[in-house]
Amino acid sequence: MTNETLQELLGSWFPNPEASVASEPVEVTEGEDAIEAKEPINPSLLEFTEEGSQFLNVLVKPENLHQLMSKLKTTAETSFDYLFCLSGVDWGTDLGIVYHLESTKHRHSIVVKVKTEDRENPTFDSVCDIWRTADFHEREVFDFFGIKFNNHPNLKRLFLTDEWDGFPLRKDYVDEINMVVK
Amino acid sequence: MQETTTINNNFKSEEYFINMGPQHPATHGVLRLLLTIDGEIIKKVEPDLGYIHRSIEKMCERDSYQQIVHLTDRMDYLSSHINNEAVCLTVENALQLEIPERVQVIRTIIGELTRIASHCLWWGVMGMDVGALTTYFYGFRDREMINDIFEETCGARLTMNYNVPGGLMWDIHENFVKRVKDFVAHFKTKIPEYDRLLTGNVIFQKRTKGVGILTKEDAISFGVSGPVGRGSGFSCDVRKYHPYSALDKVTFNEALRTEGDTFARYSVRIQEMWESLSIIEQLIDNIPEGEFRVKTNAVIKLPKGEFYQKVETARGELGVYVISTGTKNPYRLKFRSPGFSNLSALSHMATGGKIGDLVATMATLDLVIPDIDR
């Protein structure tokens, strides 16, 4: 599948309810309301971009994450059965996960991203039940970023000891003794 | 009499824990496995990691791209050249550098030599793990020849650091072509020797056939790659699907078996050594003339964006994921290491088997612990 057809298909899975409501009154009220420069409403709850990446990037809201991932795996046209990379990222204000997916049948790839602003208690749904490799990868993310995963069977630190204070791969992590800052 | 019967009736099996590692010869490094066993049957394997974690990903965030290359061969030290290549390719693709054909061909030849050297070592310790000590010396004898070639050309035997963003550190040694050809001729007579010594051995076959089975569906779900995935019929050779360097100019077969047991993974690696020899033979006579490096800026700044590069190391798919904000350091750099995903399948493969089978299964996972503890 090309990136365009993928985008079209995925977009149709999660239609934006605001987009359908908003599109109707625009036609009725011409005149003063129409003068206001309206931002184009995304027809889907997913955000797509191909900018600065070789893959199609999809940004999904945390509440839709598990449903989207499950559909990506089970739908015949997409069948993304190979989760080859799962990375935690600290974007400064947001914490999030980047999933790199490939289909061994169709040999197309996609990148799914999910973000949250909650740095105290960041939580996403686990995708362990969809791809079993996520078990270890999510534990690694929990270990280094402190991101929790709902329904993870064994969420505890993987590399560091249980007593370790803080999450080292976060940008605001400070360890004055061991870190050499240049 | 009656009392004895009562005792026998009360005899109950009980699950208990046993530690394997962190200093266990079969784990080939500091890996601790927490085994839950019932008698000798394994109920669960829980790897305990982090004994040599150096947080390379965090170090990368403060290092320049040239420096990062030198950190990568401390991950999977048996595929050091290929690891270096992965970072160099990421940088070169991001900068859209035109890499001379000479560089690409030399990189591929040394990459395949690295693969053979790694498989030689694996074959030696594989035999040793199942009780055949002789293989160790045979494997190391042939690996030594490759290491000598590396020493002459790259200046180092293990952590070669021969790749730099833009090309190679320096040109190949004048003896390189001759010595590689000598090695190929030598090694062609040695793989049949390996087969005679170990592959056909009845005890070895009994230890490995039908042991540690991983189905294709599970292999994909666990994200395993490399010879482990291909032993389960999961066609996952990055060299075939996403060819890099000179790999699109050569023809080779992807070693693939469908049994998914320890012996299948063993056979895949043996066949891969033949394929690597074939790749080297196709390239060694036609190394193009030209530059061995293109000029790059002293301070490399990647454009803003995200870059992903995958390569096939001796253990499987290594991914380098770089998020760049346009500065001289990566904002975030993630190594998707093959060993990490392969290890996650171990518990599934070993459950229900015996402890002795776990050792054989682990031997064909070919774990390198620094690759898992990045």
B204 three-class SS: helix
Average pLDDT over residues B289-314: 87
How far apart CA B369 and CA B374 sit, in angstroms, is 8
**Per-residue pLDDT at B297:** 82
Do the domain assignments include residue B30?
no
Residue B178 structure tokens: 């001759």
Question: B130 pLDDT exceeds 60?
Answer: yes
How far apart CA B268 and CA B229 sit, in angstroms, is 10
B2-11, B30-39, B57-66, B148-157, range with the lowest pLDDT? B2-11
Q: Check CB contact under 8 Å for A104 and B222.
A: no
Do the domain assignments include residue A101?
yes
User: Confidence band (pLDDT; 50, 70, 90) for A28?
Assistant: very low
How far apart CA B57 and CA A110 sit, in angstroms, is 23
- What angle (nearest 5°) sits at the alpha carbon of residue B291, between those of residues B290 and B295? 150
Residue whose pair of structure tokens reads 């940004």 in the numeric block: A59
The secondary structure element, H or E, covering residue A83 is: strand A82-90
Alpha-carbon distance values, B176 to B78, B180, B192 (Å): 20, 6, 25
Report chain B's mean pLDDT, rounded to a whole number: 87
Residues of B with CB under 8 A from a CB of A: 49-50, 53, 55, 57-58, 62, 218, 220-225, 234-236, 241, 303-308, 310, 317, 319, 321, 323, 332, 334, 336, 340-341, 343-345, 348, 373
Alpha-carbon distance values, B35 to A134, B15, B132, B347, B352 (Å): 21, 10, 25, 9, 12
Residue B260 structure tokens: 């998914």
C-alpha dihedral, B160 to B338 to A174 to A99, nearest 10°: 130
Do the domain assignments include residue A51?
yes
**Per-residue pLDDT at A38:** 57
Do the domain assignments include residue B31?
no
Pair type for strands B305-312 and B167-168: unpaired
CATH number at residue A117: 3.30.460.80
Identify all chain A residues contacting B373, using CB atoms and an 8 Å cutoff. 159
- What angle (nearest 5°) sits at the alpha carbon of residue B282, between those of residues B279 and B285? 130
Do the domain assignments include residue A181?
no
**Per-residue pLDDT at A40:** 65
Q: How many residues are recorded in chain A?
A: 182
Question: B185 pLDDT exceeds 90?
Answer: yes
Residue B145 structure tokens: 């020849």
Q: What domain range includes position A90? A: 3-150
CB burial readout B61-80, b (16+ within 10 A) else e: bebbbbebbbbbbbbbebbb
Residue B225 structure tokens: 């790659």
CATH number at residue B146: 1.10.645.10
Torsion region of B290: left, alpha or beta (phi above 0 gives left; psi -120 to 50 gives alpha): left
Residue B326 structure tokens: 């346009």
How far apart CA B128 and CA B138 sit, in angstroms, is 11
Q: Nearest CA to CA, how far is B283 from chain A (Å)?
A: 28
Do the domain assignments include residue A159?
no
> pLDDT tens, B195-244?
888 888 888 888 888 888 899 989 999 989 999 999 998 988 888 888 88
Residue B109 structure tokens: 């030849």
Average pLDDT over residues A19-43: 55
Q: Nearest-CA residue of chain A relative to B345?
A: A133
**How many separate domains does chain B show?**
1
Question: B119 pLDDT exceeds 50?
Answer: yes
Do the domain assignments include residue A179?
no
Q: At what angle do helices B134-154 and B176-194 cross, to 10 degrees?
A: 170
Q: Nearest-CA residue of chain B relative to A160?
A: B50
Average pLDDT over residues A24-38: 50
Q: What domain range includes position B200? A: 53-372
Q: Which of B333, B343, B369, B290 is nearest to B86 (CA)?
A: B333
For an interface test with B, the pick among A87, A89, A107 (most B C-beta atoms closer than 10 Å) comes out as A87
The secondary structure element, H or E, covering residue A26 is: helix A17-28
Question: A46 pLDDT exceeds 60?
Answer: yes
Do the domain assignments include residue A161?
no
A136-150, B27-41, B180-194, B259-273, range with the lowest pLDDT? B27-41
Burial of residue B350 (number of CB atoms within 10 Å: 0-12, 13-18, 19+): buried
How far apart CA A18 and CA A31 sit, in angstroms, is 22
Do the domain assignments include residue B42?
no
> pLDDT tens, B140-168?
999 999 999 999 988 888 888 888 888 88
A104-113, A151-160, B22-31, B95-104, range with the lowest pLDDT? B22-31
Q: Which of B177, B270, B202 is nearest to B231 (CA)?
A: B270
In sequence order, the β-bridge partners of residue B19 are B34
B336 three-class SS: strand
The secondary structure element, H or E, covering residue A59 is: strand A57-60
Do the domain assignments include residue B29?
no
Q: What is the ipTM of this complex?
A: 0.83
> pLDDT tens, B48-68?
888 888 888 888 888 888 889
How far apart CA B360 and CA B161 sit, in angstroms, is 33
Q: Check CB contact under 8 Å for A81 and B220.
A: yes
Chain Cα centroid distance, residue B343: 12
Q: Nearest CA to CA, how far is A35 from chain B (Å)?
A: 36
B134 three-class SS: helix
**Per-residue pLDDT at A117:** 86
How far apart CA B258 and CA B256 sit, in angstroms, is 7
> pLDDT tens, B316-328?
999 999 998 888 8
**Per-residue pLDDT at B123:** 92
- What angle (nearest 5°) sits at the alpha carbon of residue A157, between those of residues A154 and A160? 155
Q: Which of A30, A31, A58 is nearest to A45 (CA)?
A: A58
Average pLDDT over residues A80-87: 89
DSSP classification of residue A34:
H
Question: pTM of the full predicted structure?
Answer: 0.85
Outline where chain B has alpha helix (H): 2-10, 56-60, 65-72, 80-95, 101-129, 134-154, 176-194, 202-208, 216-221, 226-231, 238-241, 262-284, 338-344, 346-350, 355-365, 369-372
Do the domain assignments include residue A81?
yes
**How many separate domains does chain A show?**
1
B49, B27 in Cβ contact below 8 A? no
> pLDDT tens, B69-118?
988 888 888 889 999 999 999 999 888 888 888 999 999 999 999 999 99
Average pLDDT over residues A50-55: 77
**Per-residue pLDDT at B3:** 52
* Interchain CB contact of A178 with B (< 8 Å): no
**Per-residue pLDDT at A182:** 53
B230 three-class SS: helix
B299, B277 in Cβ contact below 8 A? no
User: Confidence band (pLDDT; 50, 70, 90) for A181?
Assistant: low
Phi, psi of A89 (to 5 degrees): -135, 140
How far apart CA B31 and CA B372 sit, in angstroms, is 9
Burial of residue B222 (number of CB atoms within 10 Å: 0-12, 13-18, 19+): buried
Do the domain assignments include residue B365?
yes
Q: Check CB contact under 8 Å for A132 and B221.
A: yes
Residue B254 structure tokens: 């992807």
User: Confidence band (pLDDT; 50, 70, 90) for B1?
Assistant: very low
